[in-house]
Amino acid sequence: MPVLVLVVDFGAQYAQLIARRVRQAHVYSEIVPSTMSVAEMLAKAPKAIILSGGPSSVYADGAPTLDPALFRHDIPIFGICYGFQVMAAALGGVVTQTGNSEFGRTSMSHDDSSRLLRGLDTQSRVWMSHGDSVTAVPAGFTATARTADTPIVAFENSDATLAGVQFHPEVLHSENGQEILRRWLIDIVGCEPTWTSENIVATEVEKIRALVGDKHVICGLSGGVDSAVAAAIVQKAIGSQLTCVFVDHGLLREGEAEQVEEDFVAATGVALKIIDAREIFLNALAGVTDPETKRKIIGAEFIRAFELAAREISEHESVDFLVQGTLYPDVVESGGGTGTANIKSHHNVGGLPEDLQFTLIEPLRTLFKDEVREVGVELGLPGEIVWRQPFPGPGLAIRIIGEVTENRLSLLRKADFIAREELKLAGLDREIWQCPVVLLADVRSVGVQGDGRTYGHPIVLRPVSSEDAMTADWSRLPYDVLEKISTRITNEVREVNRVTLDITSKPPGTIEWE
């Protein structure tokens, strides 16, 4: 079992980001709710604990609290923002509503005598988001940093195993933030940086072999990175005992079906059963324009296709296990991973019902998306699969605003391929989170192409930057790249005469249009 750091969630928008930053220091982390008892936390045998931020005031009615008993067990603890204030109050310090709020980038200065901060630039800019402030440190602690409006923005005890900061070191806007977290975890607490892709693969392979024995396993491949990496880990563990099922619903982007059918098989040697259901899905979607109805139809048809494949496989060998590409954010958002896992409709196997008679194997259950990609590289999967941008389960069906037809799918595939190709040529394909390309199929706009008047469809480009897709900002792509994409699409894609750019952030807009 790797070294464990618990991130206690006080309702912070950045709790998952804290956990990810800990893992970027190669230390394993898990998120737990602030309602978890001290006994339950101790039962997990944590090497250290980090207290997250949160939206509440420490003294507000119903605000999340921290049992002071936690500090009686000699566990290193680090407080961030609200966690910093809760920690101060629990240890006898003072938290006050001073009226001096700080939000966004703020200049901070610190003492070079601080074990946590020494050697860093004594003047830096950090990301603040607070109204209350610590106005007196607990006995035995030293205030080590300040801003113009807040005299205490960091403190630590004599060996810095108990420490905290008012700002958010997990946010990229905080200068030296990652180094502060790494320094506390590795240099001060003594965590061993053993959480690496190589060790993750080795651990999961060993677990799968012990669980499966000589029995057989199936896995639904979607074409996405999650299902591909999950299948590759299981394949490495049990080889020919795994059969993968790829339901080709005809809603993938240009070249993605071939990546599954050819590149993935070549890289892993996995046994692959392909279900050609393109005509079935198209017929089921005929005349449908409502996005939720599209999703339900696609989910239902996928279940039928997958169940048919499973029955055919079971005729030759008993299948006892099903591989699921569940990620750690899915676990957190469904209750923190306690109890039996549910199969959700947005997971890689497409919403399989819970009454299927399989035991789940979830080799990615402890991982974030960036870690999944690292594991994919470790396993030698093709780059086109490992670095594939997030793509919705219903595929291009929900990027066509209107009825889904073969002609409209063809138009969108061509436009999407051009956008992806130009982003890759410009070296931007890994800098943005994703770039959905949307076909406004039920809209026509007037244009002029050659010497003639046209009445074609508009295409929408939706490039976004994000950490986890919970929030997102539109990506400021260079004008010359946008020009190339627009020119190529309007020249090369029949029936498209206008390219538009969606510059809405999330919130208020979502990343996908439907």
The catalytic residues are 81, 168, 170
Cα–Cα distance for residue pair 458/440, rounded to 1 Å: 6
The H-or-E segment that residue 128 falls in is: strand 123-130
**DSSP state for residue 378 in the 8-state scheme:** H
Cα–Cα distance for residue pair 119/293, rounded to 1 Å: 58
Q: What is the DSSP string of 201-218?
A: HHHHHHHHHHHHTT-EEE
What per-residue string of b and e applies to 167-182 under the rule 16 or more CB within 10 Å gives b? bbbbbeebbbbbebbb
**DSSP state for residue 341 in the 8-state scheme:** P
Q: Which residues contact 99 (CB under 8 A, 6 or more apart)?
A: none
Which of 413, 403, 407, 411 has its CA nearest to residue 494?
Answer: 411
Amino acid identity of residue 324, one-letter, is: Q
Q: What is the DSSP string of 40-73?
A: HHHHT--SEEEE---SS-TTSTT-----GGGGGS
Cα–Cα distance for residue pair 367/48, rounded to 1 Å: 19
Query: Which phi and psi angles does 230 have, rounded to 5°?
Result: -60, -45
Q: Which residues contact 415 (CB under 8 A, 6 or more apart)?
A: 437, 439, 459, 489, 493, 496
SS3 labels along 226-257: HHHHHHHHHHHHHHHHEEEEEEECCCCCCCHH
**DSSP state for residue 392 in the 8-state scheme:** -
Neighbouring CB atoms inside 10 A of 57's CB total 15
Q: Which residues contact 187 (CB under 8 A, 6 or more apart)?
A: none
Cα–Cα distance for residue pair 403/405, rounded to 1 Å: 6
**DSSP state for residue 183 in the 8-state scheme:** I
The H-or-E segment that residue 420 falls in is: helix 406-425
**Prior bond to 55 cis, omega within 30?**
no
Surface-to-core class of residue 325, CB atoms within 10 Å of its CB (0-12 exposed, 13-18 middle, 19+ buried)? buried
Length of the chain: 514
Amino acid identity of residue 329, one-letter, is: P
**Longest CA pairwise span in the chain (Å):** 82
Cα–Cα distance for residue pair 133/153, rounded to 1 Å: 8
Surface-to-core class of residue 1, CB atoms within 10 Å of its CB (0-12 exposed, 13-18 middle, 19+ buried)? exposed
